[in-house]
Amino acid sequence: MRKETVVVTGASRGIGKAVALKLNNEGYNVIPFGRDSANLEILNATLKINNVDTRFYVGNVEDELFVRNSIKEIEDRYGRVDHLINNAGIAIFEQFVNSTLTQFKKQIDTNLYGVYNFTKAVVNGMIERNYGSIINISSLAGKNGFVGGTMYSSTKHALMGFTKSLMLELRQYNIRVSAVCPGSVATDLIINSKMKPNNIEKILQPEDVADVIWQMLQLPARACVSEIEIRPTNPK
């Protein structure tokens, strides 16, 4: 039986790494993308235990040519991309009066242009096959504002609009488009930021989000989870 191929962006660490490991353990052919070559090499060595033919790609998600050429290479090698997990994202938490346009553009490049580039690269193949899943990792910040989140939250709100519209456009081709909106997750993005909570052990772990994504992929093709929120049960 052919293994389904999954592309995971932002897989060097955090949620992306957890998703790559979970789906690999569940029998998927996982192709991780990221910017940290050392971390990706370590991850890929683990992935090869279950799939000796896996490989990884190092580059920037906002680089359209890199993304397009990489996806073409994957499709030539494995035949198709069945599922895309758009996880790559960055956050710069700063109140608006202290923010800079450079900070804002940096987040837009990764959080929005990166999603656009990967989605654009895989969507025609999915349409031709009348099958596929695109899961965008958004955030509760894509539905709510917070102090220090003017830049980050606005990119995630935009991602939600992109995802909701794309879902309506692609469902006619049996392509499922979903947004996953976690609350605080114990990743470097939070731990190394101004928003680090005091009770880090009570917030979500990357593996929690990975489990949800795997469950979404197990649904029958007729069912699409268009949006899902994941919160810590009791973060206090």
Per-residue b or e along 203-212, where b marks 16 or more CB atoms closer than 10 Å to that residue's CB: bbbbbbbbeb
CA atoms within 13 A on the CB side of 117: 24
- Alpha-carbon gap, residue 130 to 119, rounded angstroms: 15
pLDDT single digits (tens) 22-38: 999 999 999 999 999 99
Does 231 map to a domain? Answer: no
**Residue 11 sits in which domain range?**
5-222
Does 70 map to a domain? Answer: yes
Q: Is 92 helix (H, G, I), strand (E, B) or coil?
A: coil
The predicted model gives 7-33 an average pLDDT of 97
Does 236 map to a domain? Answer: no
CATH number, domain with residue 150: 3.40.50.720
The predicted model gives 162-182 an average pLDDT of 98
The predicted model gives 170-190 an average pLDDT of 91
Query: Which residues 6+ apart lie within 8 Å of 235 measured at CB?
Result: 183, 184, 197, 199, 202, 203
pLDDT single digits (tens) 67-121: 999 999 999 999 999 999 999 999 999 999 999 999 999 999 999 999 999 999 9
- Alpha-carbon gap, residue 126 to 170, rounded angstroms: 9
Does 107 map to a domain? Answer: yes
Query: How wide is the angle at C-alpha 207 spanned by C-alphas 22 and 213, nearest 5°?
Result: 60
The predicted model gives 156-185 an average pLDDT of 97
The pTM assigned to this predicted structure is 0.94
Does 174 map to a domain? Answer: yes
Residue 169 has pLDDT above 80, yes or no: yes
- Alpha-carbon gap, residue 61 to 151, rounded angstroms: 19
- Looking at residue 195, what is its pLDDT? 62
Q: Residue 193: which pLDDT band, with cuts at 50, 70 and 90? A: low
Does 227 map to a domain? Answer: no
Q: What is the 3-state secondary structure (H, E, C) of 163-227?
A: HHHHHHHHHHHCEEEEEEEECCECCHHHHCCCCCCCCHHHCECHHHHHHHHHHHHHCCCCCCCCE
Phi then psi for residue 195, to 5 deg, are: -95, 10
Does 90 map to a domain? Answer: yes
Q: Which residues are catalytic?
A: 152
Does 234 map to a domain? Answer: no
Number of structural domains (the chain) is 1
Residue 6 has pLDDT above 80, yes or no: yes
